[in-house]
Amino acid sequence: MTWSGTSWGDSAPTAASTRALHTLTGRSMGTQWSVKLVAEAAALTALERGIQARLDEVVAQMSTWEPDSDLSRYNRAEAGTVQALPDGFYAVLDAALKLAADTDGAYDPTVGPLVNLWGFGPDGARDATPSEADIAQAQARVGWQRVGFDPLARSATQAGGTYLDFSSIAKGYGVDRVAAWLREQQIDAFLVEVGGELYGHGRKPDGGAWRIAIERPQHDAEEDDGGAALALDGFAIATSGDYRRYFDHQGRRYSHTVDPRSGRPVAHALASVSVLHPQCMQADALATVLAVLGPQAGMAYANRRQLAAMFVMHDGDGFLTRMTPAFIARQRAA
C-alpha cells in the first residue's frame, strides 16, 4: 500500500536547545523510508543504522521476494512441517488471522497464490488475465483456516501448498517497529514513513504536531470542505488504492487488490481508502480490508468497528469522497 500527496513543514530548533529537526532516509521493502526526528546531530549515524536494522529484520522474516526469509521458508515447506516463528512473524500472523476471522475472509494472509497469479507478486507482472482454470487452481490453495497456527508454541504448521503473503501488513508493522525502537532510544518527536505508511509521535521543536495535508484527486465533489488535514501524534495512516499498481487488458484496469473470496481483483468504484489507527500494522491491513469490501460494505464495516477511514470513489470523470464519523472527528481534532 502506498500514500501519495502528503506534506509536512520543517521547523527550526529553539534557541535553548541543541537538538534540531533532521531527516534520515534509506530503502527497504522495495521502497523508500524516511524518518523526520528531533535529535542531536551526533546521534544521527547510530539512529540511521538502527532504523535500517529494524526494517532489514522485517524483510528477513516476512518478505516473499527474499528466498531465505522465514516467510519464504514456510511457503515452500513440505506438508506437516512445523516452523517456529520469530517475534515479528508471530505478531503479524496473529493479527492477520484475527482480521481474517473478523472479516469472513475478505482479508486473508494466504492470498499469495492469487496475488502471484494476477502478476502482483514475486513471480512477475502480466499483461493478460489468467484462465478460469488457473484462477480455480490458485484459489484452492487460499484459506486462512489452512494455517496451522499455534499461539502457545509460537509456531505454524504448513498444510501443504499454503502460501502466506504479508505485503498488506508487513510494511505497517515495519513502521511500528521503527517507532517503538525510536521511543526506546528516548527520541520523543518523530515522523516515520515507509513507502507512504506514516506514524507520528510527539511535537516538533516549535511545539507543533506532525501534520499532513492529504492531497485528494481533483474534481472532488467535496473539495470545498478544506481537505483532510491531520495531526499524527500517536496515530498512523495507511492507504490502499487502484492507482499505483495495476495492469490494463482489453480496456479494463485490473487492480493489485485481489479479493480472496472471488479470486479476482476488485472491480468496484473505490479509488482509494485511507485508515487512521494507533498502530500502523492495523491501519495497513484495515485499508486493504476496506479496499476489498468496497464503498458500501467497506463503509458499513468501518462504522461498525468505529474506524477512522476516508473513501475516495470514482464518480464519472471525477471523484467523490466520503469519511466515517471517526475520521471527521480526528480531522477536526487536528
For the chain, the domains span: 73-157
**pLDDT value, residue 261:** 94
Query: Any idea which architecture 73-157 has in CATH?
Result: Orthogonal Bundle (1.10)
Q: What is the mean pLDDT of each successive set of 10 residues along the chain, which is 334 residues long? A: 36 53 95 96 97 98 95 97 98 98 97 87 74 92 96 97 96 98 97 95 90 61 53 92 55 72 86 94 97 95 97 85 94 76
Give the pLDDT confidence score for residue 5 in this predicted structure.
34
Q: Provide the sign of the torsion angle of the four alpha carbons 69, 86, 51, 38, taken in this order.
A: positive
In order, the DSSP letters of 72-89 are HHHHTPPTT-EEE--HHH
pLDDT per residue over 98-157, tens digit each?
999 999 999 999 999 998 887 777 776 677 788 899 999 999 999 999 999 999 999 999
**Helix, coil or strand: residue 303:** helix
Q: Max CA-CA distance within the chain?
A: 68
* Full-model pTM: 0.88
Q: HSE on the CB side for 309, CA within 13 Å?
A: 32
Give the pLDDT of residue 305.
Answer: 97
- What span, in angstroms and rounded, lies between the C-alpha atoms of 260 and 123? 18
Say if strands 148-150 and 82-84 run parallel, antiparallel, or are unpaired: unpaired
Q: How far apart are CA 24 and CA 44, in angstroms?
A: 8
Q: Identify the pLDDT of residue 63.
A: 96
Q: What is the pLDDT of residue 255?
A: 64
